[in-house]
Structure 1
Amino acid sequence: MTAVATAQTGRLVDERRVRPGEIWRIVRLLAVNPAIFFGVPWMILGGAWAVTMILALIIQGASSEPTAEIQEGFRYSWAVLSPQWYLVVVGVQAVAFTFSFALGFGSTRRDYWLGMSIMFVLVSAEMAVAIATLVQIEKATNGWGIGAGMFDALWYGQLGWGFDFFSTFALQLFVLFVGAGATTVYMRWRVRGMLVLAACAIAVVLAIIATLTFTDSWPALMSWFGSIGLFGLFGLLAAAAVIVGIAGYFVVRRATPR
């Protein structure tokens, strides 16, 4: 009886304290197949880059417009964001495929969520450094020597390397935590929870749209977004990533591994 009580007490202590070794073990567990986090996103991005280069060559060969006008057209390309949709799936898989396994080998839910969060930060930072650098290379080479534009598009290339890094990091972190957070809801409440989550999300969006429409607040909202600028916008996205990450932790504390 005493042994059981001691074991239970030790378990409670483990649940309440941070264990760096166990947290790092979760990071290594998630990195067992590095292609999921570090390989496939770059395969997607590389494929998008190859398609963009081929399109640029075709357009250059068939168009009589100046190269500068063609490059300006490439600024509206969304190819640089092509890995984001996959990273949502990565966030889902990170929890769905490893949560039960990690708990079965003695990790606590806190260990698991902190380790997964560190992995998400590492992946987001790696992608952010690379993409911000590729933007500068693309600009320096005048579109890879053929006037093509993939990385120097949308908001990229306007406010320098630091902002390109920050915006990419915030976006990557957000989509990863959204995928992971949605999976924790499923693991906690199954299909019913996902249906309630989707219904609540739709209801909130519709309520916001209705409020802005009936109060004629759309111009004020656009003006506010303009006042905070791109830094403020991606700062809000980074804050949203943190909020989703914290909410996911509180949900996963009650999730049932299967």
Structure 2
Amino acid sequence: MNRALQVVRIQTLTAQNGLVWPWIIMAGAFVINVALFSVIGDEIPGGPKTGALMSIFIVAIVSSTVLVYQVLPFLLGFGVTRRTFVASSAVLWTAWALASGVGLYLCALVERATDGWWIDLTFFDLPFLTRDNPILQILEYAATLTAMVFLGFALGTVLLRWGASGFWIITLGATLVLGAIAVVITWQHWWDNIFGFFADQPVSVLLTVWPTAVAALAGGVTYLVLRRVSA
């Protein structure tokens, strides 16, 4: 554990851009939305609503992918084991996701207090994310960010192990498999049952339990693939 914490400290220096860029990109999207809807907001019934908050989740995938692809070979050269890298990365980025969850919740509070940044804009405080329980709302943000981060880890390891060609071949294979599954579901008329299964679950479960499961699966894939990645 001490070794993992030492590597965490190293990563806070080597990966600091990755930790900051999701917030920078989201801030840029926020400024653009405020400027845009300041001009046309009055023309939108009920006030403008935007999905640009997704930018922080998308960039989280990119940042964590770059982290694995660029930082892992550097750390392996210093004798850091793959197990330690996975453990330290999980600690650092889970802490980042939790801190980001708190930050997004505070932004949502400011948005409520200012009536949507004085232009009735809904950017952070999206209806399906709003909860009376602040802890739950923070966990929803954090769990989804954690899932994105661990998906990025998995993508980064695939790039390291098989290169760009291997990455696109695996992407093609996954697309074909998912497409085949969709064909079978359509053929068997199972879509209503599947949608009903998810519709019957509380939104809080969909935004905490399922992202956590995705993060665990992606983390397992990351470790298994990293074991065969050479320095």
Both proteins in one fold, TM over 0.5 = yes
Q: 2:79 and 2:14 mapped to 1: Cα distance?
A: 21
Partner of 2:218: 244
Residues 13-162 of structure 1 mapped to structure 2, 5 A cutoff: 20-33=1-14, 35-60=16-41, 63=43, 69-71=45-47, 73-74=48-49, 77-153=50-126, 155-158=128-131, 160-162=133-135
Q: Distance in 2 between matches of 1:141 and 1:192?
A: 49
Give the Å deviation of 1:34: 5.9
Does 1:204 find its partner at 2:177? yes
Are the counterparts in 2 of residues 52 and 149 from structure 1 also a CA contact under 8 Å? Answer: no
The residue number in structure 2 matching 1:5 is: none
| 1:188–1:37 distance in 2 versus 1, CA, 3 Å | closer
Kindly, what percent of the aligned residue pairs are identical? 23
Question: Per-residue deviation at 1:199?
Answer: 2.7
Q: Which residue of 2 aligns with 1:224?
A: 197
Q: Residues 22 and 42 from structure 1, CA distance in 2 versus in 1: closer, same or farther, beyond 3 angstroms?
A: same
CA distance in 2, matches of 1:222, 1:36: 39
RMSD of equivalent CA atoms:
2.0
Q: 1:9 maps to which residue?
A: none
Question: Is contact 1:128–1:166 with CA below 8 Å preserved after alignment?
Answer: yes
- Following TM superposition, the consecutive aligned residue runs of length 4 or more in structure 1 with deviations greater than 6 angstroms are none
What CA distance in whole angstroms lies between the structure 2 residues aligned with 1:140 and 1:180?
Answer: 37
Letter in 2 for 1:182: L
Larger radius of gyration: 1
- Measured after TM superposition, the shift of residue 113 of structure 1 is 0.9
Report Cα offsets for 1:97-119 as digits up to 9, x if no partner.
Answer: 11122122121111111011111
> Residues 137-167 of structure 1, C-alpha deviation per residue, up to 9 Å, x if partnerless?
2113211233122112252225542332122
Q: Distance in 2 between matches of 1:113 and 1:216?
A: 41
Between the aligned partners of 2:63 and 2:128, the Cα distance in structure 1 is 25
Structure 1, unpaired ranges of 5+: 1-19
**Structure-to-structure mapping, 1:159-174, within 5 angstroms:** 160-174=133-147
SS in 2 for 1:166: helix
1:51-100 C-alpha deviation (Å, 9 max, x unpaired): 2222232124x63x6xxx332x41xx111111222211211111111112
State how many pairs are aligned. Answer: 230
How many angstroms apart in 2 are the aligned matches of 1:188 and 1:41?
25
Contact 2:15–2:67 (8 Å) recurs in 1: no
Counterpart CA distance in 1 for 2:82 and 2:176 is 31
2:105 and 2:137 in contact (8 A); partners too: yes
Contact 1:80 1:153 in 2 (8 A): no
